[in-house]
Amino acid sequence: MNFTFYTLSEFTSFSDMNTLILTINLKPANMKKYIILTCIAVILAVSVAAICSKENPGSEEKTNSGTIKLLPPETTGGMPLMEALSKRQSSRNFTAKKLDEQTLSNLMWAAFGINRKDSGKRTAPTANDTRAVELYAVMESGAYKYNADDHSLEQVTNKDIRTLAGKQDFVGTAPLNLIIVADYSKFKGGKNEIYAGAHAGFIGENVYLYCASAGLGAVIRAYVDKEPLAKELNLGENKEIILAQTIGYTN
Ligand SMILES: Cc1cc2nc3c(=O)[nH]c(=O)nc-3n(C[C@H](O)[C@H](O)[C@H](O)COP(=O)(O)O)c2cc1C
């Protein structure tokens, strides 16, 4: 098969039986230059796109409001359950090392993420499926409310309030404290402290097991001065801090 390339140097048009035909004459010599230039442009565009994607490999996204769009959680793998149960324990010696983005995502999902997309149901059970519990992540960069629907952390303050997250020394230096909050406005049949405690307990155990599997330390805590922390987290009237949980790498 023979192909001839032409430059757009001239064209003529004429009518023949109601049909308009454009005849384009292109010079073969110039066409060679255009092909080479086009190839270079395509190679450059592909290279730039590849470099950009390498610089930001699946990294979590931070919006102007400070919301962190978490990476998709890894919902398979990990340590066998019986091994994780064997390793579950409370730790109180934390280093300042931060959790990487994937670990933070996995942890939040394990705690109270959506594990059935069709119904929006969670990794932890709640009475009457009310999901009447909120989870806050308190880190050096600020405090964030977990939004399970789009697996993100919505910033409530950009202040480092870790020292308010508990009365023990390690709380202020460990990279992450989860604050488990009951939302009584969502309870059917009024405030039920037993249910609130149960919700917090299930979430806490999910976190303990994930931490055992991921080589992280954790401790669930009731020893929290709730009032100043609730104020910083901007909790409304119907919300109460039930438990906190410190997470991080151990010495
Ligand atoms: C409701 C509850 C409240 C707790 N509060 C604290 C606390 O404020 N500070 C702390 O260091 N540990 C706290 N713990 C952790 C317990 O001390 C710990 O689970 C217990 O000593 C058993 O150790 P283990 O978790 O390693 O099995 C709490 C545990 C529970 C269940």
Per residue in 4-19, pLDDT tens? 443 333 333 434 434 3
124 lines ligand 1 (CB under 6 A): no
pTM over 0.95: no
Query: What local confidence, expressed as pLDDT, does residue 44 receive?
Result: 59
Tokens 């508990």 belong to which residue? 166
Q: Does 90 contact ligand 1 (Cβ within 6 A)? A: yes
Q: Does any ligand 1 atom lie closer than 6 A to the CB of residue 47?
A: no
Ligand 1 near 224 CB (within 6 A):
no
User: Which residues make Cβ contacts (< 8 Å) with residue 47, sequence separation at least 6?
Assistant: none
Q: Which atom of ligand 1 is nearest to the CA of 197?
A: 1
Q: Return the pLDDT at 20.
A: 35
Q: Which residue from 90, 91, 229, 250 has its CB within 8 A of the most atoms of ligand 1, so it is best to mutate?
A: 90
Residue 142 main-chain phi, psi, to 5 deg: 140, -170
Pairing label, strands 176-183, 239-248: antiparallel
Residue with tokens 């035909």: 21
Per-residue pLDDT, 31: 61
Rounded to whole angstroms, the Cα distance separating 131 from 36 reads 61
**Could you tell me if the CB of 151 is within 6 A of ligand 1?**
no
* Tens of pLDDT, residue by residue, the chain (251 residues): 344 443 333 333 434 434 333 334 445 556 666 666 665 665 555 554 444 443 444 567 766 679 999 999 999 999 999 999 999 999 999 999 999 999 999 999 999 999 999 999 999 999 999 999 999 999 999 999 999 999 999 999 999 999 999 999 999 999 999 999 999 999 998 999 999 999 999 999 999 999 999 999 999 999 999 999 999 999 999 999 999 999 999 99
The two three-digit tokens of residue 19, written as one number: 């049909």
76/119 Cα distance (integer angstroms): 20
| pLDDT at residue number 52 | 40
Q: Is the CB of 180 under 6 A from ligand 1?
A: no
Distance CA 246, CA 218 (A): 5
Q: What does residue 236 show for φ and ψ, rounded to 5 degrees?
A: -75, 180
| Paired strand residues for 137 | 144, 178
CA distance 99 to 71: 13
pLDDT for res 41: 63
Q: What's the one-letter identity of residue 171?
A: V
User: What single-letter amino acid sits at 145?
Assistant: K
d(CA 236, CA 239): 6
CA–centroid distance, 81 to ligand 1, in Å, is: 21
Ligand 1 atom nearest residue 204's Cα? 31
pLDDT at 9: 39
89 pocket-lining for ligand 1 (C-beta < 6 Å): yes
Q: Going by C-beta distance under 8 Å and a sequence separation of 6 or more, which residues neighbour residue 188?
A: 127, 128, 130
Query: Is the shortest distance between the CB of 50 and ligand 1 below 6 Å?
Result: no
Cα–Cα distance for residue pair 249/159, rounded to 1 Å: 22
3-state secondary structure of 206: helix
Q: Which atom of ligand 1 is nearest to the CA of 90?
A: 26
DSSP annotation of 94: B
